[in-house]
Amino acid sequence: MKQKIVIKVEMTCDKCRSKAMTLVAATVGVDSVALAGDGKDQVVVVGDGVDSVKLTSALRKKVGHAQLMQVGEVKKEEEKKKPAEPAAAAASVVEYAYPWQYYQYPPAGAYGYPQYYSNCQTPAGCSHSIC
């Protein structure tokens, strides 16, 4: 049974809103998260098997004062509207390149310790004791 949960959270800045959205989206069973209300101070959660009390207490711990406003079943109009949104989101999938450069080891002999390298290619007049 899908349920719609509305939680009023005191969010004064965009960072708080982002933190609340991230926390709610990471919760098990959440299908969609949206902000509602005049000041975008309400978090609307749609999901299956979401514990509204635990979600509200987690928002209180991480973001600020939170109050559970409404818990109810999702109406059929919202369920019909829901499948259209993932299709649009799937069409706009953006893949990012791997952002970090992997560490490349320096070439052999770069630090001047030839005793650690087995194939020393220095000339016959080598001053190394191993060659």
Question: Tens digit of pLDDT per residue, the chain (131 long)?
Answer: 899 999 999 988 889 999 999 999 999 999 999 999 888 999 999 999 899 999 999 999 999 999 999 999 988 765 555 555 554 444 555 555 555 555 566 666 556 665 555 555 555 555 555 55
Three-state secondary-structure class, residue 5: strand
Q: Which residues contact 89 (CB under 8 A, 6 or more apart)?
A: none
What string of DSSP letters covers 46-97? Answer: EEES--HHHHHHHHHHHTS-EEEEEEEEPPHHHHHHTTHHHHHHHHT--PPP
Q: In whole angstroms, what is the distance from residue 70 CA to residue 75 CA? A: 14
DSSP annotation of 109 reads T
